A and B are shown apart, each in its own frame.
Chain A
C-alpha cells in the first residue's frame, strides 16, 4: 500500500488513488478465465486500490454466428483491474478480461507487453477453460500459469490431473488456492512471474 493523493485530487475518486511519487514504471499481468471463475476475486484480493472497471467497446463476433462468415457486432465489455505497488518503484497492474474468442479484440490490445497470463479455472467447469487456453496458445506466446480456484465445496483435483485435462504446455505452473485469500492469490502471481523469468532465461529460484 501506500500512495497518498495530492491535494486537489477529485473528491469522488477518494484518497490514496494516486501512485507514490517513487513509482516510475509499470508492468501488467492478464487475468483470464471463463465467466464467473473468480478473476475479479483474485484481482480484488491482491489490489491495493478498490477494483476499477472500464467499459471497452470491442468488435465481437455475434453470438451464435460462425465467425468465418464475418458477421460482427460492436459490443461493450467490462474490464476489471487492480494495482499493486511492488518494491516501491514498480506498479503491477492486473487486468481481468473475459476469455471468450469473441472478445479477442480486447485482449489482443492488452496482451502487448504483458508479463504473462494467469488463467483462472474452476474444476467444476474445467471445459469452460478450453476456449481460453486455445485462444492464448493460438494468438500469443505469453508465459502462462494456471490457478485452480478452490471454491468451497468444489471437488479437489490434484494439480497434475488439471494439467493433464487441460493439456498444458510442459513447464506451465499449476497452483491452487482460495483466491479470496490474499496470500494465495499473491502466490499464484509469483508462480506466473517465476515462470516468465525462467522462460526469459533468468534463474528464478522457486
Chain B
C-alpha cells in the first residue's frame, strides 16, 4: 500500500530552517556524546561533489583525533548540529569513532587510571 498522492500529484515539503542537516534535528545514531572521539578515515576517498561546506570542514578538522565538542568549537557550530553531520559521515564511512561507544558509566578500572594520571600530571 502506497501513500496516496494528492490529487495534483505534488507532494508538498515545507522548507525547514535546518537545511544544513538535510532537514533532520537528530543524528542517525545516539551513541555520539560531546566527548566521543572521532577521526577521519584515511583511505584516500573524496567526499561526493554535493557534500556541504560544513561536512568538508568537519572532515578536514578530523584529520587527527578530536572529541565531537572540539569539532563543534573549531567549526563554530553547535554540538547538536555537528552530531548530525558527523553521524552522516560515520554512516558513509568517512569518519570513524575512536573511543568505545558504550552507554555505561566509566568503570572503576578506568576511574583509577584517570586518578593515577591526574596525580602524575
Contact = CB atoms under 8 A, between A and B. Distances in A.
Interface of A: 3, 5-6, 8-10, 12-13, 17-19, 21, 23-28, 49, 52-57, 79, 81, 83-93, 95, 109-110, 112-113, 115, 186, 189-190, 193-194, 196-197, 200-202, 204
A17 B98 contact: no
Interface-centre pick from A8, A12, A93, A189 (highest chain B CB count, 10 A): A93
Interface string B36-58: 11000000000000000000010
B118 interface: yes
Given A24-B99, A26-B36, A18 B63 contact: yes
A197 B108 contact: yes
A54 B78 contact: yes
Interface stretch (B3-11, B65-73, B86-94): B65-73
Contacts of B121: 84, 86, 186
Contacts of A110: 34
B67 A91 contact: yes
Contacts of A25: 37, 99-100, 110
Given A10-B60, A26-B99, A202 B35 contact: no
Contacts of B112: 197, 202, 204
B111 A26 contact: no
B61 interface: yes
21 contacts: A5-B63, A5-B64, A6-B64, A10-B57, A13-B74, A17-B70, A26-B99, A27-B110, A27-B114, A52-B70, A52-B74, A53-B73, A56-B78, A86-B121, A91-B35, A110-B34, A113-B33, A113-B102, A196-B106, A196-B111, A200-B105
Main SS class of interface, A? mixed
Interface residues of B, number: 44
B14 interface: no
Given A190-B119, A193-B118, A9 B61 contact: yes
Given A93-B67, A113-B106, A115-B106, 10 more contacts: A9-B61, A27-B111, A53-B73, A56-B80, A79-B79, A84-B118, A86-B117, A91-B37, A193-B111, A202-B111
B111 A112 contact: no
Contacts of A86: 113-114, 116-118, 120-121
A85 to B, nearest CB: 8
A200 B78 CA distance: 33
B47 to A, nearest CB: 15
B22 interface: no
Of all A-B residue pairs in the complex, the 10 with the closest CB atoms, nearest first, are A18-B64, A86-B117, A87-B117, A52-B73, A202-B108, A19-B65, A28-B35, A26-B35, A93-B35, A193-B115
Nearest to A1: B121
A10 B118 contact: no
Contacts of A92: 114, 117-118
B23 interface: no
